[in-house]
A and B are shown apart, each in its own frame.
Chain A
Amino acid sequence: MSEIKKETTTRTGVRTVEYVKGLDSKAPSGPIEQRWDKHRFEMKLVNPANRRRYTIIVVGSGLAGGAAAATLGEQGYNVKCFCYQDSPRRAHSIAAQGGINAAKNYRNDGDSIFRLFYDTVKGGDFRARESNVYRLAQVSVNIIDQCVAQGVPFAREYGGYLDNRSFGGAQVSRTFYARGQTGQQLLLGAYQALSRQIAAGTVKMFPRTEMLDLVVVDGRARGIITRDMVTGKIERHVGDAVVLATGGYGNVFYLSTNAKGCNATAIWRAHRRGAFFGNPCFTQIHPTCIPVTGDHQSKLTLMSESLRNDGRIWVPKKKGDTRRPQDIPESERDYYLEERYPAFGNLVPRDVASRNAKQVCDEGRGVGPGGQGVYLDFADAIKRLGKQKIAERYGNLFDMYQQITGENPYEVPMRIYPAVHYTMGGLWVDYNLMSTIPGLFVAGEANFSDHGANRLGASALMQGLADGYFILPYTVANFLAGVKPGGLSADHPAFAEAEAEVADRVKRLLSINGKRTVDSFHRELGRIMWDECGMARNDAGLRKALRRIPELREEFWQNVKVPGEGGELNQELEKAGRVADFFELAELMCIDALHRTESCGGHFREESQTEDGEAKRDDENFSYVAAWEYTGDLAKPELHKEPLVFEYVKPSQRSYK
């Protein structure tokens, strides 16, 4: 990357110009509150009469993809939208429970766009790009307006106005919610907007269709190769721009709160075609999940973080205490979060809560089968507020817990343990959400932007919809305005080549006919990642993982058994292709985690901690986004750095004491 001129103006009007080497974020200069407005004005527009001549491919139909496809369709572009589920309404955004943040300040409690921006930058442990985060906070208010107009049934107060709650340790009430199903309702809003465009003929939907490669022609993203999951047909799709909104890669750990089908294939294939991968090791581990019960476990279930508002977290003081929780007297319980963090108590950020749970379990004080759990106790809250009040607040969550564990949380404390939940890393994008491949845009969890090294609660929904409704429609148009529509046939050699590669891979997976199932490999990979690249990482462990992963990958390609044929619905084949890509991504995650010898947010390097055992950043050496380039050799990706400049929020040591 060449030298980049960077102009900055602080709020007091001091203008500085510096030349930095690294990736160009294309973030506008000037006062931060004016950057997006200025940029929107400077971007080029496409004449409404010309829009239908442009084809935009959108992969993924969740909050980011569904919202983008619907909005681009409304504007008159010719949109093709793809999802692996049987309907766009099932994308995994649907599973988000808690809520969506917006800086409406309806509660008059001191919230503002600047405060949401500030909290997000700080919560992300100063590893996000200020300009992007500020824009996110700005458009958050438009999202709520849009969703209400679509008929999203947000919770209301008796006067008929929108209700808000405080969420995930925020000190203002800025979270809008629809019972415990906020993600579902927001997704249905986007799905309905998308359905309207499908009926209008501006969007063509391809459900049960999986993207297996990206096609790059003359350095520009020009299309994708897909597999029809019902007929097995491999197909070519040509477009003028490609948007990937395919979600995160938490399933690299096998066990996560992600849906079983969530995968990294679309972004990984794009990475192999030249898109840089940003901060791959930044993973969020959510503290309130239901613990694992045995080897059969296929996924982990999250319970809303709102439970921490009233539940008290504790473990026995004594190691290996197997008494029933109700038999352990108060004096022999360790309410470790309340003890260590008096100001925030049980409401410390997710990464802090998760790490502390791991620590007490590692000390041998964990509870439940296998000792991998801590108590979340509602006895005091029930005594204080009454069972009815607690049932009103958390009834559906208590029912869900009982459904899964067979235990009644009104009578015995819940057992919880952290689980992989979200990946802050993803394909590197500039301010326009465009990757390092011109014409390839990446939105939602699939990109790396906005959340830094740790995402705050209720911010994923906000980012997905911000990208889809309010950012991509401008920035994709700006890109298209600079290129001529069409002019490329699916017969181009680049398409033929990519299609042949995809078909070969499918054939190869089916022909190995080894002895181990796809799931057994995936489980083993997940175990390595959880142990060595999970809640805490260290040099020796990561090096061990980097030896083990390529060996296991090698064995996979020699010994996996994929039954059935390619020309039909074949769920094992689908899984095999995804796991093959997880193997490659897992290696990059470990390389990234190894190189970043500081701790920040969800990335906790044991070598870098404060005296109190908190994550210790190294701003001097690591205040940058690590963007990795695929070089053809998985073990030797090339590192590019995007320096992070903080003009408005001064980096400080996070403290929740």
Chain B
Amino acid sequence: MKLTLKVWRQKNNKTPGEFKTYQADHISPDMSFLEMLDVVNQDLIVKGEEPIAFDHDCREGICGMCSLMINGVAHGPKAAITTCQLHMRSFNDGDTITIEPWRALPFPIIKDLVVDRSSFDRIIQAGGYISVSTGSAPDANTIPVPKPDADKAMDAAACIGCGACVAACPNGSAMLFVAAKAAHLSFLPQGQAERHQRAVNMVMQQDLEGFGNCTNIGECSAVCPKEISMDTIARLNRDLIVASLKGIEPTLQPAEAKAS
């Protein structure tokens, strides 16, 4: 296959970026999308040019490190997979492919296609956990969890934290990411004690990081490689309403609440 690539190149977050065009010849349909970029990079290096920087690690769709807007769609044209699982047989010989980084205010660009997603970590730090110290757990079978609840918790827990939902959202909202974590823990009996405080704190941190509001557009769920449902957002909103009726206020420490 022969392809034309239009790739976003940006030296760092202080320098403006631009699209550059590259020809990728000798591409096999069996290559993954990232292997195609590897091949382009090997040529660039030999020619004495700087290779294209992009994030990747496990290359099997689970670590959440890879990203890329491919022809304007987060993780490319195929549903329910990450960029590393996309193969070139999904494209046609002669195609022009536009490759961009995630674009959102709370995901500043580091270089080329690499962005800083540490805002996601700070949202989890604000309350995306069950407060249980090592050693204090009762026997695992003490509290039965109805299978349907365990299954729904697992559906939500499948989130890989890649940020596609934010990149796809016209508002740049992280609501699906926050809701997935909130739902994972709120479907389990172990997660009940902190359920409403957790919701309030994580949403507060989301706002502080500069993510937009959710207006139920649904782009997030459409591009999610793990097909996290928007039902989780409805569930999170319900938790927020209950929290406000109960008068639960955010309890973030000033240091945590500060976005970098």
Give the interface of A toward B (CB within 8 A): 67, 70-71, 74, 85-90, 92, 94-95, 104, 106, 142, 144-151, 153-162, 178-179, 181, 183-185, 188, 191-193, 195-196, 198-199, 201, 205, 207, 230, 259-261, 293-294, 296-299, 301-302, 400, 403-404, 406, 469-470, 473, 515, 517, 519-520, 561, 563-564, 568-569, 571-572
Bound form: Cα–Cα A156–B30 in Å: 38
Q: How far is the CB of B112 from chain A (nearest CB, A)?
A: 9
Interface residues of B in 76-98 (CB under 8 A from A): 81, 85, 87, 89
Contact with A along B129-141 (1 / 0, CB 8 A): 1111111111111
Query: Pick the contact of B63 from A95, A515, A571 — CB < 8 Å?
Result: A95
B154-188 near A? 1/0 per residue, CB < 8 Å: 10011011000000000000000000000011011
Q: Which residues of A contact B12 (CB under 8 A)?
A: 568-569
CA distance A404 to B90 in the complex (A): 11
- Contacts known (A192-B130, A298-B32, A406-B89); A94 close to B154, Cβ less than 8 A: no
Q: How far is the CB of A646 from chain B (nearest CB, A)?
A: 31
Contact A259–B45 (Cβ < 8 Å): no
Chain B min CB distance to A179 (Å): 6
Give the CA-CA distance A563 to B47 in the complex, in Å.
10
Q: Which residues of A are found within 8 Å of B111, using beta-carbon distances?
A: 568-569
CA distance A95 to B58 in the complex (A): 7
CB distance from A282 to the nearest CB of B (A): 23
Q: With the chains together, A536 CA to B30 CA distance in Å?
A: 29
CB pair B144 A260 closer than 8 Å: no
Determine if A298 and B59 form an interchain contact, defined as CB atoms under 8 angstroms apart. yes
B32, B124, B145: which contacts A191 (Cβ < 8 A)? B124
* Residues of the B chain whose Cβ atoms lie less than 8 Å from the Cβ of A195: 121, 124-125, 128-129
Q: Which residues of B contact A188 (CB under 8 A)?
A: 157
How many angstroms between the C-alpha atoms of A146 and B160 in the bound complex? 22
A184 to B225, CA, bound (A): 15
Known: A86-B116, A406-B30. 10 other contacts (CB 8 A): A86-B55, A87-B118, A155-B150, A156-B145, A158-B147, A178-B154, A207-B121, A296-B30, A517-B45, A572-B45
Q: Which residue of B lies closest to A88 (CB)?
A: B121
Cβ–Cβ contact A293 & B30, under 8 A: yes
Given contacts A563-B51, A572-B51, contact A146 B137 (CB under 8 A): yes
Is there an interface contact between A296 and B28, defined as CB atoms closer than 8 Å?
yes
Query: For B187, what are the chain A residues with a Cβ–Cβ distance below 8 Å?
Result: 153
Contacts A154-B150, A160-B147, A404-B87: A145 and B28 contacting too (C-beta < 8 A)? no
| B28 neighbours in A (Cβ, 8 Å) | 293-294, 296
Min distance, Cβ A566 to any Cβ of chain B, angstroms: 14
Q: Are A148 and B140 in contact (CB under 8 A)?
A: yes
Picked from A67, A106, A151, the residue with its CB within 8 Å of the CB of B190 is: A151
User: Which residue among B137, B160, B184 has the maximum number of chain A CB atoms within 10 Å of its CB?
Assistant: B137
In the complex, are the beta carbons of B130 and A150 less than 8 A apart? yes
CA distance A591 to B193 in the complex (A): 56
> Are B161's CB and A89's CB within 8 A?
yes
Q: How far is the CA of A26 from the CA of B118 in the complex (A)?
A: 42
The reply to whether A153 and B50 contact each other, CB–CB distance below 8 Å, is no
A470, B134: Cβ atoms under 8 Å? Answer: yes
User: Which residue from chain A places its CB closest to the CB of B63 in the assembled complex?
Assistant: A90
Closest 6 CB pairs of A and B: A160-B144, A192-B129, A149-B137, A145-B137, A153-B154, A153-B153
The answer to whether the Cβ of B204 comes within 8 Å of any Cβ in the partner chain is: no
Complex: how many Å from CA A423 to CA B255? 41
User: Please, how many angstroms separate the alpha-carbon atoms of A380 and B188 in the complex?
Assistant: 38
Chain B neighbourhood of A183, CB < 8 A = 62
The answer on a CB contact under 8 Å between A296 and B31 is: yes
List A contacts of B116 (CB < 8 A).
86
Report A89 CB to chain B, min CB distance, Å. Answer: 6
Chain B residues numbered 26-70 whose CB sits less than 8 Å from any CB in chain A: 28-32, 34-35, 38-39, 42, 45-46, 48-51, 53, 55-65
Bound together, the chains give a CA A178 to CA B154 distance in angstroms of: 8
Q: Which residues from chain B contact A86 at a C-beta distance below 8 Å?
A: 55, 65, 116-118
